[in-house]
Amino acid sequence: MTGLTSLLAKVRGCQICSAYLPLGPRPVVQVHPQARILIAGQAPGRKVHESGVPFNDASGDRLRAWLGISREVFYDAKQIAILPMGFCFPGTGKSGDHPPRPECAPAWRDALLTRLQDIQLTLVIGQYAQAYHLPGAGASLTDVVLAWRDHWPHTVPLPHPSPRNNLWLRRNSWFEAEVLPALRERVASVLATGTS
């Protein structure tokens, strides 16, 4: 844990892309070597930047409902690791937040992932995380999520739980009908037993 503590101190002091961040750097991650579930998301939004707590917004409320877990479990780093593709809020554009800064993942991701040896389930949220964790998996986010069984039971691709995706969720009712019941069962199993 000492090595991880030192690494996290470096992550939290990171200034690599500070010149491009409208609100300045504030890396938001949740990591512990005992974590069994990894949430690989996009990047913190403005509300998360302000609080410093991952998924502390409407997206987080929806994600916790999808997973069937409480805030208490979600924020227990010994159970759930949260590593977005970009650790800092990248700013907002015309149609939503900017993409994760490209400097972040190469600088920190592999070093942190190697310290997560007990991960049994990885939730890959959104196109940037899917491109990293599931390269070549599909042409579109919909294609990747639709083929979720190809990666089961160790990896599950998900759309972003943002309210901006309400239209996608309405158009793809199979996601709620097929993916979410299986996902909740898998999450419960991993958290209850700690074994795959």
Residues 113, 152, 158, 187: what is their CA dihedral angle, to the nearest 10 degrees?
Answer: -80
In this prediction, residue 195 carries a pLDDT of 47
- The two structure tokens encoding residue 52: 């410093």
**Residue 54, domain CATH:** 3.40.470.10
The SS3 assignment for 74 reads helix
3-state SS of the chain: helix, strand, coil percent to 5?
Answer: 45, 10, 45
Domain that holds residue 70: 2-193
What phi and psi values does residue 90 have, to the nearest 5 degrees? -85, -5
What gap in Å lies between CA 18 and CA 7, rounded to an integer? 19
Long-range contacts of 21-28 (CB under 8 A, 24+ apart): 21/88, 21/89, 21/90, 21/91, 21/101, 22/89, 22/91, 22/92, 23/49, 23/89, 23/91, 25/88, 26/52, 26/88, 26/89, 27/87, 27/88, 28/52, 28/53, 28/54, 28/84, 28/87, 28/88
Question: Which residues on neighbouring strands pair with residue 30, listed in sequence order?
Answer: 82
Task: Write out the chain's pLDDT in tens, 196 residues.
Answer: 668 999 999 999 999 999 999 999 999 999 999 999 999 999 999 999 999 999 999 999 999 999 999 999 999 999 999 999 999 999 998 878 999 999 999 999 999 999 999 999 999 999 999 999 999 887 899 999 999 999 999 999 999 999 999 999 999 999 999 999 999 999 999 999 864 4
Counting the structural domains of the chain, the total is 1
In this prediction, residue 96 carries a pLDDT of 84
